[in-house]
Amino acid sequence: MTATDIEQQINQLRRQINDYNYRYYVLDAPSILDAEYDRLFMQLQQLEQAHPESITPDSPTQRVGAQPSTAFQSVTHTVPMLSLNNAFSETEVLAFGKRIRDRLHDTDDLAFVCEPKLDGLAVSITYRQGQFYQAATRGDGMNGEDVTANVKTIEAIPLQLRTQDFPTVLEVRGEVFMPKAGFIKLNEQAEQAGEKIFANPRNAAAGSLRQLDPNITAHRPLNFYAYAVGQVQGYCLPDTHHAILQQLQQWGFPVCSENRVAINEMACLAFHAEILAKRASLPYEVDGVVYKVDALALQQQLGFVSRAPRWALAHKFPAQEEITTVNSVEFQVGRTGALTPVARLKPVVVGGVTVSNATLHNMNEIARKDIRVGDQVIVRRAGDVIPEVVAVLKERRPAHTQAIVLPRQCPVCGSDVLHLPAEAVARCVGGLACSAQLKQRIKHFAARRAMDIEGLGDKLVDQLVDRQLLHSIADVYQLPLTALMQLERMGEKSATNLLTALEHSKSTTLARFLFALGIREVGETTAQVLAQHFSDLTTLSQADEEALQQIDDVGPVVATQVVGFFHEPHNQAVIEQLLKYGVHWPQPAPMDQSAQPLAEQRFVLTGTLEGMSREQAKAALIALGAKVSGSVSSQTNFVVAGRDPGSKLIKAQALGVRVLTEHQLNDLLAQLAMDD
């Protein structure tokens, strides 16, 4: 590559980055993923380091951010608000530590303060004689936007410093952010009002803080964590960063409780792994962690380089969103005949996992997002959630893309595909004649929360159906030992164990049996409600839609599906076979209303319980008349939160639902047992 080519590449990167900065900071309309921006920035840094003669004062690498919006008055930072260099691997973190030790000529253990890197908006807040005076955004690091009136509305930020021992001038730096619960509630309110929906909590926080009308900001659920100080006059600060954080708390500022002192780089990496593991359950968004040398004297000795301090580093998390290409689309058939379009992607690493497939949900979603084969798309993966395509980069659309067309025939059995206008999902009409539906029905029937047939796993079910040993779910109880022994990875012992598990599964409950049948719209909770209401299966099977709708939580859709299922002759025959083969459950005793102290109370369980399984907790609550659901809504009375509760806890907090710890649940159950 010639010198001219290199110069052109550098200039192109600068133009791109400056444009992305303008859209992000000034227009509040980001047009690129953080991970892709970081890669472009690092590419420019590497080129400039290799060709230092090409560095210019106006390069994005020589400043912190972008120009502030002209909608606000400009504020000059007395002490520049620098940003941090990024690391994306353990190797880079260890290299960061080595650079520090080499510069300090010190090989002893070095103390760092580790902090979660909140995904919000950095601000500077100045106090004079202990009184709130001015607030500004970071802007370009030298000049920011005056957002005094807006920041003053954030209740977490003190208007008067606590204690009488404070500097004459104090500049506090921190992050304005929107907690996940507040973000969910804000978007729900916006959707109901037909207003703009925010893409994520960071954009919501930035948009809220940069409102020209402070009254709008005051009604937004913003929070603030302090993480540093800038200008200080008339006061002698502590000599470590960790002690400064403690001092900030004494002055009345909230500080992130996850902060920790780590001795050496390996302890820093352990902190990174810990925060990454609990990322989904934190009440705020984080995109990494920050390491800072704790001793201020060492910070001063290390100094700064270009746009960032040498003594601090941001260790970013693997991106949860990435850009890739849709190579093709296939349709998978589920147990109810539903066809789900699945995008086959150019493999890409998302959140540390290689993703090559992503759900497209249904044809309505494909049309709404205008997804085509050949498109470049944003794919998201969060925790254990199935990856999904969230948006198309239409500005990058190639000239020859292909529309995604719903097949007219089932890709598995060739039967017709029916797509009713009132339904989002298209379905194969082949029923049990479709082997895909039969396989999925049997897998559902055997699942732990259904008939709980240990050993009847997915691969074994596939073999049994492919060899035509199973033609309905009832056939599982007629499998011969000799035929099982001839299957792959099935010796005599494994086959015998499976037959034992099948025999054991015959003793079940009516609720489990109803759930195992795979009736559309009947999940675990609805199955439990039906089993509690009807005295036996015969009474339920003969109920009409009107009778079913008299039950709480059973609406017209569920009632129609239940009646239709039990009126289908094939389904009646399968149930008769299952009962003939020995499937049974205890007959319920007449319901004693006095023994139902939690009647009409709706519970949701989330996280890991220590003293009992969630199934045991669910059974205990149901026995007392409670209804246990898998999702939180405004109708939920209690959410029981165990360890690592996740998004259900966040939604409960957003809706104001009462949250119980496992200890409180145990106290409740014990008290009700005593009352009984």
β-pairing verdict for 658-661 and 638-641 = parallel
Supply the DSSP symbol for 253: -
Provide mean pLDDT across the span 173-191: 91
β-pairing verdict for 312-316 and 338-350 = unpaired
| Whole-number Å distance between alpha carbons of 30 and 18 | 12
Maximum average pLDDT range among 63-72, 86-95, 102-111: 86-95
Q: How confident is the model at residue 432 (pLDDT cuts 50, 70, 90)?
A: low
Provide mean pLDDT across the span 121-131: 94
| Whole-number Å distance between alpha carbons of 641 and 665 | 9
Q: Which of 117, 180, 443, 651 is catalytic?
A: 117
Q: What are the pLDDT digits (tens) for 403-415?
A: 999 999 999 888 8
Per-residue model confidence (pLDDT) at position 324? 95
Q: What are the pLDDT digits (tens) for 261-281?
A: 999 999 999 999 999 988 888
| Whole-number Å distance between alpha carbons of 131 and 124 | 14
Per-residue model confidence (pLDDT) at position 411? 93
* 369 given a catalytic annotation: no
Q: What percentage of the chain has pLDDT greater than the value 70?
A: 95
Does the 321-418 domain belong in CATH 2.40.50.140?
Answer: yes
Structure tokens at 274: 């810990």
Q: How buried is 318 (Cβ within 10 angstroms: 0-12 exposed, 13-18 middle, 19+ buried)?
A: middle
Q: What are phi and psi of 112, to 5 degrees?
A: -120, 150
Greater model confidence, 170 or 202? 170
| Whole-number Å distance between alpha carbons of 80 and 64 | 9
Provide mean pLDDT across the span 36-54: 88
Q: What are phi and psi of 627, to 5 degrees?
A: -110, 125
Answer for the pair 134, 144: CB distance below 8 angstroms, yes or no: no
Answer for the pair 169, 127: CB distance below 8 angstroms, yes or no: yes
Q: Where are the domains of the chain?
A: 3-62, 86-316, 321-418, 432-580, 593-675
Q: What percentage of the chain has pLDDT greater than the value 90?
A: 50
| Whole-number Å distance between alpha carbons of 40 and 34 | 10
Q: Which residue has the tokens 């959410």?
A: 639
H or E segment at 547?
A: helix 545-548
Mean pLDDT of the chain: 88
Of 669, 675, 661, the C-alpha closest to 620 is 669
What pTM did the predictor assign? 0.65
Of 212, 231, 209, 210, the C-alpha closest to 221 is 209
Cα separations (Å) of 314 from 280, 426, 449?
19, 47, 43
Per-residue model confidence (pLDDT) at position 26? 53
Per-residue model confidence (pLDDT) at position 27? 65
| Whole-number Å distance between alpha carbons of 218 and 533 | 49
Q: Which residue has the tokens 């001063």?
A: 300
Of 203, 204, 209, the C-alpha closest to 186 is 204
Q: What are the pLDDT digits (tens) for 522-550?
A: 888 888 889 888 878 999 999 999 889 88
Task: Kindly report the number of other CB atoms within 10 A of residue 535's CB atom.
Answer: 13
Q: How confident is the model at residue 397 (pLDDT cuts 50, 70, 90)?
A: very high
Q: What are the pLDDT digits (tens) for 308-338?
A: 899 999 999 987 889 999 999 999 998 888 9
Per-residue model confidence (pLDDT) at position 94? 94
Judged against a pLDDT cut of 60, whether residue 622 lies above it is answered with yes
Judged against a pLDDT cut of 70, whether residue 385 lies above it is answered with no
Q: How confident is the model at residue 421 (pLDDT cuts 50, 70, 90)?
A: confident
Supply the DSSP symbol for 278: T
Cα separations (Å) of 385 from 345, 388, 447?
17, 9, 20
Q: How confident is the model at residue 383 (pLDDT cuts 50, 70, 90)?
A: low
Judged against a pLDDT cut of 60, whether residue 245 lies above it is answered with yes
Does the 432-580 domain belong in CATH 1.10.150.20?
Answer: yes
Q: Which CATH superfamily is domain 86-316 in?
A: DNA ligase/mRNA capping enzyme (3.30.470.30)
Provide mean pLDDT across the span 415-444: 85
Q: What are the pLDDT digits (tens) for 626-671?
A: 888 878 888 899 999 988 787 788 888 888 899 999 999 988 988 8
Per-residue model confidence (pLDDT) at position 53? 87
Answer for the pair 333, 434: CB distance below 8 angstroms, yes or no: yes
| Whole-number Å distance between alpha carbons of 44 and 38 | 10
What's 593-675's CATH class? alpha beta
Q: Which CATH number applies to 3-62?
A: 1.10.287.610
Q: What are the pLDDT digits (tens) for 65-75?
A: 555 556 788 89
